[in-house]
Amino acid sequence: MSCFCLKKARPKTKQDLSTTLASETSFTVNEIEALLCTFKKLSSAIVDDGFIHKEEFHLALFNNTSKQNLFADRVFDMFDIKRNGVIDFGEFVRSLSVFHPNASEEKKIEFAFKLFDLRQTGYIDPYQLKEMVLATLNESDVTLPDDVADSIVEKTMKEVDSKGDGKIDNEEWREYMAKNPSLLKIMTLPYLKEITLAFPSFILHTEVED
């Protein structure tokens, strides 16, 4: 009778993990190691267990764990790829990769569409659009009268809903983004100033050469 002895896989070292993530994302090894410093600060803000919890995510965005915001919650859910209520370092890097200057426009457009598709139906209806508009403004402590919000949503739907069926599908969304390339600016890392300002260690320091 043959006997097969299975050896446990050797745990990945810091360098192994950085190299793997660099091969799967738009980040370099140097950038990933800088992100690890940021991740450690985020994940230890409330519970130091190596994961980013939703409360810590809110703390990073608002400096307030009690402020609930649909926009922040939606972004958190999209980063939480494993759907287990926390964000690990791999999820953090892979999700942030879409915001990298070298990430394709296709990935940025797809992420933005999913962000607004709150109920994951494959389209954005006026109700979802209004929820996200209000949530985005609320993030900046801006409150709009209901009729003004409705006006913004109505105008946007007329502009984007080229098929006139009362909802925005993937094709219409891509056409709209192609006509308004400036909207992709918010999908690029240099515009995430909160991270670089709040965490100076984001400045690239590394012991590993790219």
Write the pLDDT tens digit of every residue in 72-100. 888 899 999 999 999 999 999 999 999 88
Q: In angstroms, how far is CA 108 from the centroid of its own chain?
A: 10
- The two tokens of residue 63 are 């400096």
- The two tokens of residue 30 are 């140097």
CA separation (Å) from 36 to 16, 83, 204?
A: 13, 21, 11
Q: How far apart are CA 89 and CA 151, in angstroms?
A: 41
Domains observed in the chain: 27-101+189-204 (1.10.238.10), 104-187 (1.10.238.10)
Write the pLDDT tens digit of every residue in 143-163. 778 889 899 999 999 999 999
With a cut of 70, say whether residue 210 has pLDDT above it.
no
Biggest distance spanned by C-alpha atoms of the chain? 78
More confident call, 185 vs 24? 24
With a cut of 50, say whether residue 68 has pLDDT above it.
yes
Please give the pLDDT value at position 82. 95
Please give the pLDDT value at position 174. 94
With a cut of 80, say whether residue 69 has pLDDT above it.
no
Please give the pLDDT value at position 101. 83
Phi-psi region of 142 (alpha: psi -120 to 50; beta: other; left: phi over 0): beta
Q: How far apart are CA 181 and CA 125, in angstroms?
A: 22
pTM over cut 0.95: no
Q: Which residue has the tokens 């098929």?
A: 163
Q: How many CB atoms within 10 Å of residue 205?
A: 10
